Amino acid sequence: MTRSFPLTNYDLAATLDSGQVFRWIPRGAAWEGVLGDHWFRLWQTAGQLHAEGATGSSPWERLLHFLGTDEDLTAIRSSFPDDPPMRDAVAACPGLRLLRQDPWECLASFILSSTKQIVQIRQCVSLLCERFGQPVAVPPGTAPVYSFPPACRLAETEERQLRECKLGFRARYLGATARRVVQGGPMLEEIAGLPTEAARRELMELPGVGRKIADCVLLFAYGRQDAFPVDVWVQRALRQLYFPNRRPSFRTLERFAATHFGPFAGYAQQYLFHYVRTRLGRTAFPKASSRRRSPRPPSPPHEPH
């Protein structure tokens, strides 16, 4: 059955294709994906979201929670620093949103993400679901889809089988983290109740999870909108947009990000990530050398008017 919901200030395509999630597939003007054990097809028209479920008992509330349709995006955007880079990034895609994902799926997916392109992460996640997930009900004529395999399923899977999903060296991390999550009982639920810094430390105890992946999980699954993942794209964005003609160290970028972007820094990060990835591209941002010093004395980064 299909239901419609009011929806404003929301760019569904950009949101589902912005590197937060890896299993939503465009089909014509719609997007198809799985939430838990439920298949959905989503599309939007002026002011409305349309959602088709495979059964009459689809979890609509969960879908809306996942999409974050209740979030006041205007208030969030107005908290951003009023500087040219942020204005450009927001103008490029004003309806970009953060999703509220399942922590395990998000954690496992980002363990696979290290030094992989997003298209390859999608492929790995898809293979994992096909081989170790459960079939999910779909409408007649729709290709079969599968749920994301739970930690207990991956914990008992041999590393060789994980590697066959093209995980490479990440297979060992995924298996080891799955076992830790299973042994830890409700650890992923308990993390939800911790302050952000304590939650980050807990996540970073898991094999294959460093600062960046921990921040992705905090931001994309636990709703910690002050978490600010700094990956290669965000490094490029910060260097080019805020430190042109300089060679800031990674540490400098982290310190800058921690203070510059305000209480919704993670949201600002997603706008910068999407902006640099879709509009500016890779070639505009040569990798900064960590050895060479700046040829000129440092000047303050770009300040608001």
Partner DNA sequence: GGCCAGGTGTACC
Partner DNA sequence: GGTACACATGGC
Q: Which of 144, 156, 282, 284 binds DNA (CB under 7 A)?
A: 282
> CB of 200: closest distance to DNA in angstroms?
11
The whole-angstrom separation of Cα 122 and Cα 125 is 5
CB 187 within 8 A of CB 201: no
> CB of 129: closest distance to DNA in angstroms?
17
CB 147 within 8 A of CB 36: yes
166 is catalytic: no
Binding mask 216-235 for DNA (x = CB under 7 A): x------------xxxxxx-
Is the CB of 51 or the CB of 121 nearer to DNA? 121
Number of H helices and number of E strands within the chain? 15, 7
Number of residues assigned to the chain: 305
> What is the bridge-based pairing of β-strands 30-35 and 25-27?
antiparallel
The whole-angstrom separation of Cα 145 and Cα 32 is 10
CA-CA-CA-CA torsion sign (254, 260, 265, 267): negative
Q: Give the interface segment with DNA, choosing from 3-11, 135-143, 150-158, 283-291 (CB under 7 A).
A: 283-291
> CB of 119: closest distance to DNA in angstroms?
6
Q: Give the interface segment with DNA, choosing from 3-11, 39-47, 74-82, 266-274 (CB under 7 A).
A: 266-274
Rg of the chain over Cα atoms, rounded to whole angstroms, equals: 20
Task: Supply angle C-alpha 122, 126, 128, rounded to 5.
Answer: 120
Beta carbons within 10 angstroms of residue 235's beta carbon: 19
Q: Which of 197, 287, 294, 303 binds DNA (CB under 7 A)?
A: 287
Q: Give the interface segment with DNA, choosing from 33-41, 73-81, 164-172, 180-188 (CB under 7 A).
A: 164-172
Is the CB of 208 or the CB of 301 nearer to DNA? 208
Is the CB of 51 or the CB of 106 nearer to DNA? 106
Task: Please tell me whether residue 259 binds DNA under the rule CB under 7 A.
Answer: no
Is the CB of 39 or the CB of 173 nearer to DNA? 173
- 290 in helix, strand or coil? coil
* Residues 6+ positions from 183 with CB-CB distance below 8 Å: none
Is the CB of 39 or the CB of 261 nearer to DNA? 261
> CB of 53: closest distance to DNA in angstroms?
27
> CB of 19: closest distance to DNA in angstroms?
3
- 198 in helix, strand or coil? helix
Q: State both tokens at 93.
A: 């895609």
Q: Give the interface segment with DNA, choosing from 17-25, 29-37, 76-84, 240-248 (CB under 7 A).
A: 17-25
Which is nearest to 98 in space by CA: 138, 66, 52, 58? 66
CB 96 within 8 A of CB 11: yes
Displacement of CA 215 from its chain's centroid (Å): 10
Q: Give the interface segment with DNA, choosing from 29-37, 43-51, 240-248, 268-276 (CB under 7 A).
A: 268-276
Q: Which of residues 113-152 bind DNA (CB under 7 A)?
A: 113-121
> CB of 162: closest distance to DNA in angstroms?
10
Binding site for DNA (CB under 7 A): 18-20, 110, 113-121, 163, 166, 168-169, 172-173, 204, 206-214, 216, 229-234, 249, 251, 269-270, 273, 282, 287, 290-291
Tell me which residues are annotated as active site. 212
